[in-house]
Amino acid sequence: MNKKITVLGIESSCDETAASIIQEENGKVKILSNIISSQFDVHKEFGGVVPELAARAHVEKIDLITEKAISESKININQIDAIAATAGPGLIVCLTVGLNFGKTIAASLNKPFIAVNHLEGHAISPKFNSELNFPYLLLLISGGHTQYLLVEGLGNYKRLGTTIDDALGEAFDKTAKIIGIEFPGGPKIEKYAERGNKERFKLPKPILNRGGCNLSFAGLKTAILRMQPKIKNQKDRFDLAASFQKTIEEILVEKTKVAFQMYLNENNYFNKTFVVAGGVAANKGIKSRLTKLSADNKFECLFPDLSLCGDNAAMIALVGLEKFKNKTFNELNFNVNPRWQLDEKAEFLKGAGVKIES
């Protein structure tokens, strides 16, 4: 008889408090519950996430959210085989809440505890809806990270390129703020873009033809800031959003072409799989351009299900499940790691002073 493996995942790295129960049976993984509580209302008036308020909201909600995840999954708490919680990267005060809560449950149930890298959760999130084999090329686009990585296996990453300044989600959010869209504005940019003239504003594409598949978005923000006085009515907002969306799509297409080549040069197995994950992977325009580019280059292109692009605990539980099968457990004294990178050997590359070789 095949044993079921049941994992509880907990996520609290930024402004989402989340818990999920997933279960593997006969090699198939099912999400039994996936509860996410977002803190939009807590941070709205500040125009961004306030760490202390976020942490307090996590403290207030984490037990209720976890209880809900367990009751919705219809499992008995004793059926849980392991507890996985995000240990980094993220806001230290927020990570601490979920990690400690996860450890406490693991200790009280006397079950293995698994510390998860949040970015690894995003990296393998398409596994819920597609067959995903190593190695693959990953484009991780979230609110805090923007990287191309060669993924050779669980915990085995080589960074091929990174943003040298803002993350892509951050660029979306800042643009939205300049246009006057309420926080968090990223997802609304594409709605505005659908109604605008994408040819109206000419925006820069920093380091487009140099620096390998490294990226830069800070110049775009500055350009948009300069255009702000010209934004007087709704039509102007739609046009600027459309021009921004188009510019981002063009940057990602060009940089992905470079990343494809770098990946093929690195990877002896020629597994032509391209995964796009993280909050910004929910953007339909980006998805359609990168899907087409992949088809033209004979890459299989995988995105997570739309509901799993943003932060969630199902992806954290999935990393936990994989580690449970490898018997990779952590001690209860495992500490939060707010700067935990997927490729810990990659050099720090940030700031306008960074020299990008061509």
Q: Which of residues 271-330 bind ligand KG4 (CB under 6 A)?
A: 278-280, 282-283, 310-311
Q: Which of residues 208-267 bind ligand KG4 (CB under 6 A)?
A: none
Residue with tokens 């799509």: 249
The yes or no reply on residue 311 touching Zn ion (CB under 5 A) is: yes
Distance CA 55, CA 144 (A): 17
> Which of Zn ion, ligand KG4, none binds 165 (CB below 5-8 Å, type-dependent)?
none
| Rounded alpha-carbon distances, angstroms, from residue 57 to 60, 62, 64, 98, 142 | 5, 8, 12, 11, 22
Q: Judge contact between 248 and 137, C-beta under 8 A.
A: no
Q: Judge contact between 30 and 23, C-beta under 8 A.
A: yes
CB of 204 to Zn ion, least distance (A): 27
CB of 16 to Zn ion, least distance (A): 8
The yes or no reply on residue 142 touching Zn ion (CB under 5 A) is: yes
Stretch that binds ligand KG4, among 101-109, 167-175, 226-234, 296-304 (CB under 6 A): 167-175
Map residue 66 onto helix, strand or coil: helix
CB of 270 to ligand KG4, least distance (A): 29
> Which of Zn ion, ligand KG4, none binds 282 (CB below 5-8 Å, type-dependent)?
ligand KG4
The yes or no reply on residue 11 touching ligand KG4 (CB under 6 A) is: no
Distance CA 259, CA 138 (A): 9
Cβ proximity to ligand KG4: between 111 and 159 the closer is 159
Cβ proximity to Zn ion: between 48 and 180 the closer is 48
Distance CA 146, CA 162 (A): 6
CB of 89 to ligand KG4, least distance (A): 9
Q: Is 167 exposed, middle or buried (0-12, 13-18, 19+ CB in 10 A)?
A: buried
CB of 166 to ligand KG4, least distance (A): 10
CB of 217 to ligand KG4, least distance (A): 12
Tell me, by CB under 6 A, how many residues bind ligand KG4.
18
| 186, 196, 206, 320: which one binds ligand KG4 (CB under 6 A) | 186
Which pairing describes strands 16-25 and 136-141: parallel, antiparallel, or unpaired?
unpaired
Map residue 54 onto helix, strand or coil: helix
Cβ proximity to ligand KG4: between 112 and 285 the closer is 285
Q: Secondary structure of the chain: what % helix, strand, coil (to 5)?
A: 45, 20, 35
- Site for ligand KG4, rule CB under 6 A: 14, 142-144, 169, 172-173, 184, 186-187, 190, 278-280, 282-283, 310-311
